[in-house]
With several copies, the nearest count.
Chain A
Amino acid sequence: MRELMYLQAINEAFAEELERDEKVFLMGEGIQTGTFGTTTGLVDRFGPDRIMDTPISETAIAGAAVGASLMGYRPVADMMFSDFMYIAADEILLKAAQWRLLQGGTQQLPCVFVANIGGYRKLGNEHSQCPYSMMLHNPGLKVVIPSTPYDAKGLLKTAIRDNNPVIFLYHKGLLPVMGEVPEEDYTVPFGVADIRREGTDVTVVATSFQLFWAEAAADMLKDEISIEIIDPRTLEPLDIDTIMTSVRKTGRVVIVDEDTERCGFAGELATQIMERGFYDLDAPIKRVCAKNYPIPGGIMEKFVLPQPEWVVQAIKDVMVD
């Protein structure tokens, strides 16, 4: 099958959905040029009214996306770095997420917020975060964090077609990664986890870029430990059933997630697993997350962001007794 880079897969998903539905439009800072290539070239095909370069006004971009979605458009707000979404927290976490319910549940808000996540580039706290736990914490948003070109394209198309606000977060570290992407139209449904590798000793739930660490660890340990790796792909809706089926089989769990540990997705998932499968667990669940510090600039980030050896260690830890 044809291979594309993750960033090309995203770009192609945009192009196809722009083509398919004239209500779809994109807006964001410099998107006609495209800071990360995900929107590059689209303006040549769809024109500046549908690929809108905006002023540096994150709050207005996000709020305008919400507004336009209420009037039947399907805006995609490109927020560039997900860290900049803090600037539009009211617009994204309260307006986009909660408007529908607060007005009685009769409206539709089909908008997508797209942004990059992730560290390992020594850029410091405001260009490195994975702030999706905050988005999960404020009910009303669907949250999508694809780890492959295939999923990036298929999930982005689903996101744009969804009648609810969706957060679509692509990882900087994945942008140049190649993978198979069919030529035909396809979508990937929300709420269906991907079992990336089957195993019987330990369940490793890993997200986005962290799947690299999980797979590297599984490779390293393959002669000793049989590891099942699960990529939830969407964090809301979350395919807890697939995870629980795996947990019931292995009894041991490591969660690898790049967002900050405290009050993060990993703790949430650990608690949900415990609530549902306490008696199936043979050892305490281990979290491998960004440690509870701001992400420093420079090389010190290596002490904060999850490292491959932390995953190996966590897997060994849950195998004890």
Chain B
Amino acid sequence: MEFGKEDLIKLYVNLVRTRAFDRAAIKWLATGKLLSFYHPAEGGEAPGVGGTTFLRKDDVISPHLRGHGLPHMIGKGVDPKRYMAEHCGKATGFGNGLGGFHSAMDEFGMFGGTGTLGSCFPLSAGWGLAAKKNGTGQVVVCFFGDGTSNRGTWHEAANMAAVWKLPIVWVCENNGVAQYMPIQDAYPLEDLANMASAYGMPSAVVDGQDVVAVAEAVMAAVEMARNGDGPSFIECKTARFSAHGIGNPDKLHGKDRTTEDIAKLRERDPIVLFRTSLLEKGVLTPDDVERIDQEAVAEIDETEKFIDESPFPDDPALLDAALYAE
């Protein structure tokens, strides 16, 4: 896929918005507005944003937990207002206040999230099977972390996808760590993309801090899948700038990640890298940058207002209605 100026700006805007929402989520968790927990996306936004921004609205995505799916939703074109409202427990949320950090937006091909990592794989096989059956050219893009790739569910789903030639793109957001576990101690090879070779699946390893590289690789795989050529695997080497979750220590095997380690990661901030390149190329001016930042701030303010004005759900009858469909 060739990216024009508008496309590049769209990618940049989505990255900036993602980070703004990520920061808002962190702040709102601290003030008790956001419920439960939060796993910040900072440093790892590009795979989600790059992998979704150019998908069709009816393409199906399975977001990764990092940033609780914000990068993916924003890329996919979902207005995050009702998602954030849900995460704050409000009745106006996508899950009517029943879901918390889970919640579905069917019309955007997001059928919802789960709490058990790796259960996305069999579900994605099912979405891919439905997409193949309905013949509309829908593609499923399943995002997951390096740690999550160790679940056996991936093997079953990937094999099924390969043997049935399902239109699925597996996008691994390899940030090198799973909670407190470095990936080199959880997988024996350098590249997780090697996993694809077990099924003869095409794979690529890309710089996950380069949002354009991600978008190119994913969209090439999406085209293949759309054309009936089956699944493929994209590994994005990315980073996690902060601790696993808010309130967690930033440790690996019980030892602190050093400030040097983090500083080194931060040198390759996907937004800074992309901004610099867009400014250099003249795709953006400093004024554009300023305006995009301000628009993101305004969107957060608007979202916060929406959330604050929304009521909490307060009717147990909601449960009966939600338990079973008619």
Contacts and interface: CB of A to CB of B under 8 A. Distances in A.
A107 B185 contact: no
Interface in A24-39: 25, 29-30, 32-35
Q: Which of A25, A53, A125 has most B Cβ within 10 Å? A: A53
Contacts of A230: none
A99 B125 CA distance: 16
Contact of A123 (B100, B151, B252): B100
Contact of A105 (B159, B252, B312, B318): B318
Interface size class of B (residues with CB under 8 A): 35 or more
Most chain B CB atoms below 10 A, which of A63, A66, A75, A100: A63
Interface stretch (A42-50, A261-269, A310-318): A42-50
A30 B180 contact: yes
A61 B163 CA distance: 14
Contacts of A68: 126-127, 129-130, 133
B289 to A, nearest CB: 36
Contacts, number: 275
B179 A40 contact: no
A163 B325 contact: yes
B100 A103 contact: no
A104 B96 contact: yes
Contacts of B253: 32-33, 43, 48, 53
B112 A103 contact: yes
B178 interface: yes
Contacts of B115: 83, 123-127
B95 interface: yes
B153 A55 contact: no
B292 interface: no
B152 interface: yes
Contacts of A299: 35, 89, 97, 312-313
Contacts of A103: 94-95, 98-99, 102-104, 111-112
A90 B116 contact: yes
Contacts of B106: 70, 106-107
Interface string A42-74: 011000110001111111111111111111110
A113 to B, nearest CB: 13
A102 B96 CA distance: 10
A284 B254 CA distance: 52
B37 interface: yes
Contacts of B121: 60, 63
B189 to A, nearest CB: 13
B123 to A, nearest CB: 4
Given A53-B180, A63-B119, A104 B94 contact: yes
A176 to B, nearest CB: 14
A95 interface: yes
B97 A298 contact: yes
A297 interface: yes
A62 B154 CA distance: 14
B183 to A, nearest CB: 9
A30 B312 contact: no
Contacts of A99: 112, 114
A95 B152 CA distance: 17
Interface string A292-321: 011011111001100000000000000000
Contacts of B179: 29-30, 33, 35
Nearest to B179: A30
Given A48-B253, A107-B111, A60 B116 contact: no
Nearest to A25: B133
A233 B130 CA distance: 32
Contacts of B272: none
Nearest to A84: B116
Contacts of B156: 55, 57, 59-60
Nearest to A27: B129
A303 B134 CA distance: 40
A53 B134 CA distance: 19
Given A63-B126, A72-B130, A104-B322, A56 B101 contact: no
A261 to B, nearest CB: 14
Contacts of A69: 126
B124 interface: yes
A73 to B, nearest CB: 5
A43 B251 CA distance: 13
B228 interface: no
A62 B123 CA distance: 9
B157 interface: yes
Contact of A67 (B35, B127, B251): B127
A140 B322 CA distance: 9
A192 to B, nearest CB: 16
Instruction: Name the residue in A95, A105, A110, A126 with the highest tally of chain B Cβ atoms < 10 Å from its Cβ.
Output: A105
B326 interface: yes
Q: Which of B101, B122, B253 has the most CB of A within 10 A?
A: B122
Nearest to A123: B36
Contacts of B157: 60, 63-64
A108 interface: yes
Contacts of A43: 253-254
Contacts of A53: 180-181, 185, 253
Contact of A124 (B36, B93, B131): B36
7 contacts: A67-B128, A70-B126, A101-B98, A103-B99, A104-B95, A104-B322, A293-B322
4 cross-chain pairs, A with B, having the tightest CB-CB distances, nearest first: A67-B126, A63-B122, A297-B100, A105-B322
